[in-house]
Amino acid sequence: RKEVEQDPGPFNVPEGATVAFNCTYSNSASQSFFWYRQDCRKEPKLLMSVYSSGNEDGRFTAQLNRASQYISLLIRDSKLSDSATYLCAVMGGSYIPTFGRGTSLIVHP
Amino acid sequence: DAGVIQSPRHEVTEMGQEVTLRCKPISGHNSLFWYRQTMMRGLELLIYFNNNVPIDDSGMPEDRFSAKMPNASFSTLKIQPSEPRDSAVYFCASSRDAAYEQYFGPGTRLTVT
């Protein structure tokens, strides 16, 4: 089993839709979790950290499920500008981050 | 504030040549990471520095790769000799401490012919 796994997609959704991505991790000792957004030919940019209690930033909600070892990202009211690849990052006690391969999102008119 | 700065942004070189990539982390950040990204393998961590000291270099592919961080504001990744399979985008990232979120530079797109 890979350390961090994501469905590569693409997820193809209309504007205004709600879409959710999951990211599973294998190391139960993982402590820090993040979602990054990467546009084509650009660097990954931090979207949000994922806290144990879950957190929300506008249209974006991130949650952590330690029992099932996954994190999720929910995007409400999708915009065309949300089209990108979404990478999850998982960090264990050694502070060595592992990134997923990313999930591609395409929002169409 | 300036973000992570990398140079060059693009590098095209011939097989066998030495390549040096440069990175300036965000001021005040004490952790620095070098990554390589390809379509086949995704984003791979090569090496991680904390307070200028290499902590984990297990991701460095082989002896042809070396990285240094002589001070808190500068790091280099060197490939000597370069090979076509080294073609990738190389990212540098920094964080205020190892456990915190990372901020990526714009990357260096390396092509080895």
Model pLDDT for residues A14-40, shown as the tens digit of each residue: 999 999 999 999 988 888 999 999 999
Burial class (CB in 10 A: 0-12, 13-18, 19+), B7: middle
Per-residue pLDDT at B99: 77
For residue B86, the SS3 value is helix
| Partner B contacted by A76 (CB < 8 A) | no
- Pick the range with the lowest mean pLDDT from A38-42, B51-55, B98-102: B98-102
Task: Report CB contact under 8 Å: A44, B91.
Answer: yes
Per-residue pLDDT at A75: 98
Per-residue pLDDT at B83: 96
Tell which A residues from 29 to 48 touch B, by Cβ distance under 8 Å. Answer: 31-32, 34, 42-46
Per-residue pLDDT at B27: 95
Banded pLDDT at A1 (limits 50, 70, 90): low
| Partner A contacted by B94 (CB < 8 A) | no
Given a cut of 80, whether residue B1 has pLDDT beyond it is no
Between B90 and A96, the more confident residue is B90
